[in-house]
Structure 1
Amino acid sequence: MRRVSYRILLRKESEGGYTVTVPTLPGCATCGGTIEETIAMAKESIETYLEDLAERGEEIPTEEDTLEYTLTIEAHA
């Protein structure tokens, strides 16, 4: 078994709590009431997602060749 790392993105929701997505794993998303709870839920979701891929014999995506940038632009609304 190998260890893999995934970036997660947490978004604070207006009604409370947080939503988390995993950009490298399409459709892998969950939510929680606190940041800590949301991170724990993300770990569980990722593990389930990867188990499902393995059961179907599909390749496990990694972020080895992923470059990340943050762009700041002026938005005229």
Structure 2
Amino acid sequence: MLNPDFEQGNASNWLTNDSVSIIEASTEKVHSGAYSGKITGRTDSWNAPLHSLVGLLEQNKAYQMSAWVKLVNSSD
């Protein structure tokens, strides 16, 4: 995958599913490393970061993916 995480401080290969949302690399709240992804301007709870896997996955193969997500209003 191209830019599978935000750890390099680059959000250029990420999209959102709402034209109002803005996605960027941020140093405000990180899980590990120096950067995390930050979305602002969400208008609904389903607005999220997207990364296209078109042309990257092969049929009949298993893939494992993981994500760490923190909501702004979270106490952690």
TM bucket normalised to smaller: under 0.3
The structure with higher relative contact order (CA 8 Å, sep 6+) is 2
- The structure with more radius of gyration: 1
TM-score of the two chains, using structure 1 as the length reference: 0.28
